[in-house]
Every structure is written in C-alpha cells, then in structure tokens.
A and B are shown apart, each in its own frame.
Chain A
Amino acid sequence: MNAAVATSVFAVFMVATVALGLYAVRGRGGQGGLAEWSVGGRSLGAVFIWVLMAGESYTSFSYLGAAGWGYNYGAPVLYVVAYMSCGYAVGYVVGPMLWAYARKHDLVGITDMVAHRYDRRWLGAAVAILATVFLLPYIQLQITGMGVVVSTISYGTISLNWGYFIAFAVTTGFVVVSGLRGSAWVSVLKDVLVIGTLGFLAVYVPLHYFDGYGPFLDRLVAEKSDWLTLPGHGGDGEGGSGLGTAWFATTSVLNALTVVIFPTTVAGYLGARNADALRRNAIWLPAYNVLLFVPMLLGMAALFVVPGLVGADSNLALFRLVVDSLPAWAVGVIGVAAALSSVVPMAVFMLVIGTMWGRSVLSLVPSLRPGRRQKAASQLVVVVAGTLALIMTYAVPNTLVRLSLISYEGMAQLLPMVLLGLLWRRLSLTAAVSGLVVGVVLVCALVFTERDPVYGINAGLLALVVNLVVTLVVAYVRPARRSGEPGGDARPDAEVLASAAV
C-alpha cells in the first residue's frame, strides 16, 4: 500500500517533468538548431539562469552524499559551501568574459572556445574527448543516486537495477526533447520542491525525534563534538580521512577555480541573455548554499536514530529518517525532489557532452557540418553517452567510481589552456598542451596510487601548480609565433583574446 502511494506520486511527477520540458520548447522545435537546444538561444534572463545554475550545483549529492558525509565525517562536507561561494565570486569576473567571447565568435562551449583561440579544430575535439571522460562518471553518479532514491521510496518494490534504468530513461528522453531551455523550466519545479522539502525536514526531524532544535543541537555538541570541526569524525592520525583544514582550504580553492570553466557551468553562462544577468546571479547564488547545511545536520541527526550505517548505506542516512517518520505520500514527494535533483544536472551534463561532440568532434566529419544535422548528431551522442553510463553502472560500477575521483581535479588542468590562453597571446599551443598533459598525468598518478590528499593538500591543486609552471616555462621558451613569422597566427588580438572589461 505504502509502496503504491509513494510510487504513484513519483510517477505522476516524472510524467509532469517530461511534459514541462516539452511545453518549454513549444513552437521552437523546428528552428534554432544547435544553439537553441544547447544554450537556449542565448536568451535566458537572470531568474532562469539563477534556477538553472542553482539547479546544476544542487544535485542528488545534496540528499544522498551530503547527508552521508555528514553522517560519516560531519563538518568537512561544508567545503561544498565554501567552494561554491568562492566559485561564484570568480564567476563574477570570468562568466561575463566567457559569455562575451562566445557570443562574439558564435561559440557554444569551452571546446569550441579552445578551438577558436588556438585556431586548431583537432584541439577542440581532443579537449571534448578528455572532458567527456571526466563528465561520464558524474552521469553515472546521478543514475546511481536516482536509482537508489527510486528503489528506496518504492519501499524496495522497484529493484535497484530497474531504478537505474528509470533514471536513465526519464533523463535521456527529457534532454533530447527539451534542451537547455527545458532544463531551466524543470529547475523551477525542482527548486520549489527542494526548498520546500528541505525546509520542512529541517523543522520536522528535530521536532519528531528530539523534541526540537535546542535538545538536538545540545546532544550533538555534547556527544558528537568531533563531527563539528575539521577534520571531522575519524579524521586524525594514521588511516584517518585526512580531511583537515589544509585539505578543506586547498580543495575549496581548486574547485572554486575549476567550477567557472566546468563545461556545465559554462553552458549556464552562455545561456544568459546578457552579461549583467550573470553578475546578478553571482550575488544571489551563494544564498542557495545555506540549504546545504540541512542535509548535513540531518545526516548527523541520523547518527542518533539509525546508528551503524556503513559504506554506501550511509548515503541513505537522510532517506532512512524520511521513510521511518513520514507517511507514504510525503515520502513520494521528497523522492521526487531528490530525483529531480538528479534529472536536472544529469540533463545538463548530457546536453554538454552532446554539444561538445556535435560541435567539436563530429564536425570534423564534413557531412555532419551543416546546422540541422549537427543538432541531430548531438542528440544521438546524448543517447549514446547515457547508454554508456547506464551499461557501465551495471557492468563495471567501480571503474566509474574511480574515474569520478579525478573528475574535478582532472578538469582543473584545463584552466591554464582556457583562461590564461584567453588573456595572454604569447601562450602557444605547445605550451598549453604541455601543461595540460603534465597536469592530467600527475593527477592520475597521485589519485590512482591513493595519494590524494597528498600531505593534506588536494592533489589536483598540486598538479595545477605544476601544470601552470610547465605552461609558463614552455610559453617563455617557445612563445606563440607572431603574425609575420611562418606558421604564425595572422589574426589580430581582438579576434583571439577575450576582454574582461565591463
């Protein structure tokens, strides 16, 4: 009975989601081509960009992983709040710069920008392939997360494997028909549900289990104080989590820089109608982070109610409380909020992969170049990428978990090539590629030999510093050839570089 009620609520909302995606793009289907689908025709206003970007950053991690980290470690999970706030500050400057550059040269993503900046089509394709390797694990994480939610709220009647499949099918179908505009619309529905459910749980759980906030927090401070500061529970000493202040600081810095060139963030930037919409967003987006305190606190509340969760089960800390204390229909609604928290980011991730391949990789095949076919090819790539992530979820789940460890730190290695490259003409192709290769190899070496964090410092940041040094040295030894020289790039600076002006 419970299962039927919760599953019905869930199914109704999933159908409504796809319908909303279709409604968002009504009458725009035929025209627009790739730019309409991938960056919403560059016409989204400040409010839509806000919900979209908040939607991307607030993934199912917030319901599952954040509560799980809260349960296992406590305070270290707040690095998410720290890096996002710092990242929005960096984005205040970088967002409008990338937006203006893309608009001026009619570009739809960072691979496109790189190809334009260095005047090499193959470089765009290479970066697209590299970025896809780093993005696929995120799609798989979202599929897993949503599958777990579906299975949990159906009280186990839907198996995990079917849950994964439902996650894949809903999201792929949704993104193929609706594109970025549809994702922004569904983000509105999702934000209402997320704010509503987390706000409700923040009040309800302490009242239900602890007679209110005062007693809950008092117990937390009295009994679980090692969860309340860095490095968190079980952080110290040999074999500890290593999540101390140095890790917190370096990870926040690295992620704050990386998030501004993360392909999905850039998709949000490029969807904006004007640069001021992005600046206004940088003001208000940090406020959304306050919500992240809720799953962390609920994860810690679960320590008292359902002690002894280990491994992947700790990610269910929040849902155990929900299923335990609320009626079936409410479980269904909270499940919808969590599922949409997977659907929206997953849709944008897939959209970005599709756009990158359509524009930068498949366009190397001459017959795929013209407008309409490029969009169809991109949509096909979305289905292929989603299917690949689904197959890997079933077949080799651990491979992708390992890859996801290097996703952010690997993507960070594109920073010198993209950002420094857009500001500094002397930075040659050789220099940019040398730095990138050294950075990616170093990240892989450190992470896969389990040396991250290395001496308490984020391995990605260390690799980025080495990457930057290599880039600068090579740029000094072999600078970009000037227009007069043989093989030099004849375009003027204004064609190649981005401007950071207001």
Chain B
Amino acid sequence: MRSRPHLLWLLVPFVLYIGALPFVNRVEPVIAGLPFLFVWLLGATVLTVVAAWLTWRGDRHHREAMAAAEQEYGQEHGPVDGAR
C-alpha cells in the first residue's frame, strides 16, 4: 500500500455512492428530466470507470519503475537470485 498510493483511487466509488448519499438523496434539481439522485448515480458510475482506470495506470507505471530499478541493480551488482 505504501508503495502503491494510486490504490486510493479505489475509494472513489465508496465516497460517491455511499459517502455522498445524504447530500444527493433529492429530486431537485431535475437535470434533463432526470431526478437529481439518478443523475448523481449515473455520474458516479462513469467516474468509477475513470477511477479504476487511473488505478490501473498507476499500477502499470509502478511495474515499469520496479522493472527498471531491478535492471539497474542487476547491471551494478550482477543478477539477483530469486528476484522473481
């Protein structure tokens, strides 16, 4: 967790769907005919996709950084035994 702070993005759906609930449980303002609660939950669904994507991107960078560090270490000290 300490080395993967981007996992915090995964809290986004919990905040949007659950944390925000008391504030968004209302009909007004009606947006494009839809009551506000529905608009909010639709928006939360879209933002959840974005948040999960940001997490995944963070993990990809993390893996690349780990691989690069391992390679650098290997060049200086020779191959590391048992490092995957």
Question: B interface, by DSSP: helix, strand, loop or mixed?
Answer: helix
Which size class do A's interface residues fall under? 35 or more
A284 touches B18 (CB 8 A): no
Q: Complex: how many Å from CA A123 to CA B18?
A: 35
Q: Does B73 contact A (CB under 8 A)?
A: no
A234-280 interface with B by 8 A CB criterion: 245, 248-249, 252-253, 256, 279-280
Q: Which residues of B contact A283 (CB under 8 A)?
A: 49, 52-53, 56
CB distance from B84 to the nearest CB of A (A): 10
Q: Which of B7, B26, B45, B63 contacts A290 (CB 8 A)?
A: B45
Q: Check A286 against B59 for contact (C-beta < 8 Å).
A: no
Chain B neighbourhood of A86, CB < 8 A: 13-14, 17-18
Judge whether A82 and B33 touch: CB under 8 Å. no
Interface check A362, CB cutoff 8 A: no
Q: Of the candidates A89, A228, A253, which one forms a contact with B52 in the assembled complex, judged by CB atoms under 8 Å apart?
A: A89
Whether, in the assembled complex, A19 has its beta carbon less than 8 Å from a beta carbon of chain B, the answer is no
Tell me whether A229 and B53 are in contact (CB under 8 A): no
B62 touches A252 (CB 8 A): no
Question: Mask for B25-63, Cβ within 8 A of A = 1, else 0?
Answer: 111001001110110011011101101110110010011
A85 touches B17 (CB 8 A): yes
Cα–Cα distance between A72 and B20 once the two chains are bound (Å): 25
Whether a CB of chain B sits under 8 angstroms from the CB of A2 is: no
Q: How large is the interface on B (under 10, 10 to 19, 20 to 34, 35 or more residues)?
A: 35 or more
Q: List, in ascending order, chain B residues with CB within 8 A of A75's CB.
A: 37-38
A225 part of interface (Cβ distance < 8 Å): yes
Q: Is A502 interfacial (CB-CB < 8 Å)?
A: yes
Of the listed stretches A214-222, A442-450, A482-490, name the one at the interface; the rest are far from the partner chain.
A214-222
In the complex, what distance in Å separates the CA atom of A225 from the CA atom of B35?
9
A217–B55 Cα gap in the complex (Å)?
36
A502 proximity list for chain B (CB < 8 A)? 4, 59, 62-63, 66
The verdict on A290 contacting B52 (CB below 8 Å), with A89-B10, A502-B4, A502-B62 known, is: no
Once bound together, how far apart are the Cα atoms of A109 and B32, in whole Å?
46
Q: Please, could you name 18 A-B residue pairs with CB atoms under 8 Å apart, sorted by A? A: A78-B38, A82-B13, A82-B18, A85-B48, A88-B13, A88-B52, A90-B10, A218-B33, A221-B30, A228-B27, A228-B37, A229-B35, A253-B14, A256-B14, A283-B52, A286-B52, A287-B46, A293-B42
List residues of B whose CB falls within 8 A of some A CB. 4, 7, 10-14, 17-18, 21-22, 25-27, 30, 33-35, 37-38, 41-42, 44-46, 48-49, 51-53, 55-56, 59, 62-63, 66
